[in-house]
Structure 1
């Protein structure tokens, strides 16, 4: 489900009007309306606030299918030439990328280390600022299989 559909549905399930939601988020009603009709989309940090106000998981508001991602770093396997990781016996492991999992070993010992080392690549690929990339990864990474 798209962000605009998820937002509208979650708001309506809580019996809130656009005005009531906007008051809790300290934005205009028009901002909520534009989000719900797909004209604009809020930042990751605003989505965190929306999730808190509507009591929904933040990942639900990111419109991401985590099954299509490396289950350690979140890089999409749709990236051209994205190599899969390998198990200790050399067999390909389709859940992880080579940069996170190689020869049966994970390259990162904590979510923080992963985010610190990979946020610059996300910034380069998407044009996000450092704060945006770190915030995005902070929401995504805990929802990936390796970190649960």
Structure 2
């Protein structure tokens, strides 16, 4: 689905007219109309406001063009419900809700995350903990948060 269709569907789902949505995000009704016809797209700041109004991620507003991955643990962020939130409740598409919540990181160090993973993740191949830890460490080291 394209951004224009997503915006129109979300507006209608929330029982808002173009005028009402425009008032909420401080733009003209004509701007909303142009977005819904695909003539233009909102700017970055307006996408942030739309994300808050509709309580969806910017990635969702854009039609999920990117496969989001938590930059702390590597978990795929395939649904908005998995994406972290800042303290102002806006989405932070860099992290999952388990690694980052309300503007704070859960794991103070990579070592603490490695401890958690070794203890809680399944071990179908019955690898020893040292091998598992090394595998997780190798993977995590590729993520933005741990570089």
Report the TM-score when normalising by structure 2.
0.47
The structure with more radius of gyration = 2
Q: Per chain length, whose mean CA-contact separation is higher, i.e. which structure has more relative contact order (CA < 8 Å, sep 6+)?
A: 1
Greater helix proportion:
1
